[in-house]
Amino acid sequence: MAEAIVVGGGLVGAAIAYGLQREGLATALLDEGDVALRASRGNFGLVWVQSKGLGAPQYQRWTRASAEGWPALAEELAAATGLDCGLRQPGGLHLCLSDAEMQERADRMARMRAEAGNHGYEYRMLDRRELEQMLPGLGPEVVGASFTPYDGHANPLTLLHALHSAFTGLGGRYVPHAEVTGARAAPHDFRLETPVGVFRAGVVVLAAGLGNAKLAPLFGLSAPVRPQRGQILVTERAREVLSLPTTTIRQTAEGTLMIGDSHEEAGFDLSQKTSVMASIADRAVRCFPWIAGLNIVRAWSALRVMAPDGLPVYDASERFPGAFTANCHSGVTLAAAHARLLAPMIARGALDAALDAFSARRFAGGDVAMPATPRPLALRRASV
């Protein structure tokens, strides 16, 4: 029998499962399978700090902590699995295409520094002349950029592979085709039903992305997350041109340019729209006209896991101690925090006060009315 069960085999679940196993808990990782929505296989791959947490400095700090923990995570994953996640943290840029955009960005960065207090928030607003020293071939509309030294990028697919390999390498049990179809919950006593069997443990972590919305109430928790679609374009490989990533354009270690991103409220519709792809391409070409000469070789859409305020959700169940939720739309950026900070808290049985701000109780009506006694509840698959 497992000591802990993690529901969800994406980046969030795999990072937590790896972290729990690393803490010495015998952990089972239940993965739905390839019918799942798999945000982890469609994301952009930034390890990104600079725009996270305006008005929510605790999110800024959590993101910073993860970015700072990333080199150690990448190192230990490489040592354990031989896989190189391709982490590069040269700092990152947000390009501005007008004086108005530049002013808005400068105001935003100043507010974030003010909110950071003496935790610090280093950034610089670069004018066009400075920017030209860093990136070649800027379009005529580019006015400048904001720069923070904290940003970087990595290969998200290698990260997912490495987390899974490191987890099973430590003795963790990966269970595919294990969609949770029902559950019983009591304090430190959980029973999860799946098509491949029943799993019991004293600790359960719900990291099922959009699936958490339906799962959380079974454990006295709430996870009001919704899908938000993003589309990405990928070019053919080219020799290195961009030595550091921008918010929406990055060159991978292999040489492809990844171009994002869109924020679309489209429910569970994963289809791609040419109008959106065109506007993504248009902005990219305005930033770097030479991108127009590169062939697009792949394009895809994926669904972000968004809470109403865009912040992560981390919760510990009060009704059923031992049950936790973890949701976010930044599975790559937060991987180090999940493996090295969150998992140890869960292993100790309680979340640190630093995570109080991420409880779903922050949402109106966030407390879910639960039956007086635990009873079995049936679940149906979310529409895909």
Partner 1 sequence: MFRRSGPTDCTILWEGRALPARAGEPLAAALLAAGVVAFRETPVSGAPRGPFCLMGACFDCLVEVEGVPNRQACLVPVTPGMRAGPQRGARGAP
The residue ranges that bind partner 1 (CB under 8 A) are 136-137, 236-239, 241, 255, 257, 288, 290-291, 293-295
- Shortest Cβ 302–partner 1 spacing (Å): 24
Least separation in angstroms between residue 92's CB and partner 1 is 19
Q: How far is the CB of 251 from partner 1 (least distance, A)?
A: 8
Per-position b or e across 115-139, b if 16+ CB within 10 A of its CB? bbeeeebebebbeeeebeebbeebb
Give the residue with the Cβ less far from partner 1, 20 or 294. Answer: 294
Nearer CB in complex with partner 1: 15/249? 249
Minimum CB separation of residue 236 from partner 1 in Å reads 5
Secondary structure of residue 139 in the 3-state scheme: coil
Q: Give the residue with the Cβ less far from partner 1, 129 or 239.
A: 239
State the Cα–Cα distance between residues 278 and 272, nearest whole angstrom. 11
Which residue, 136 or 267, is less far from partner 1 as judged by CB? 136
Q: What's the chain's Rg over C-alpha atoms? A: 21
Write the CA distances from 110 to 55, 114, 204, 311, integer angstroms: 12, 6, 40, 20
Rounded least distance, CB 237 to partner 1, Å: 5
- Comparing CB distances to partner 1, the nearer of 215 and 291 is 291
Residues 6+ apart with CB under 8 A from 134: 93, 126, 243, 244
To partner 1, the closest distance from the beta carbon of 255 in angstroms equals 5
Q: Which is nearer to partner 1, 290 or 300 (CB)?
A: 290
CB 295 → partner 1: shortest distance, Å? 6
Nearer to partner 1 among residue 34 and residue 240 (C-beta): 240
Intra-chain end-to-end CA distance of the chain, in Å: 31
Q: DSSP characters for 306-355?
A: E-TTSS-EEEE-SSSTTEEEEE-S-TTTTHHHIIIIIHHHHHHTS--GGG
Contact 47, 87 (CB under 8 A): yes
User: What are the beta bridge partners of residue 111?
Assistant: none
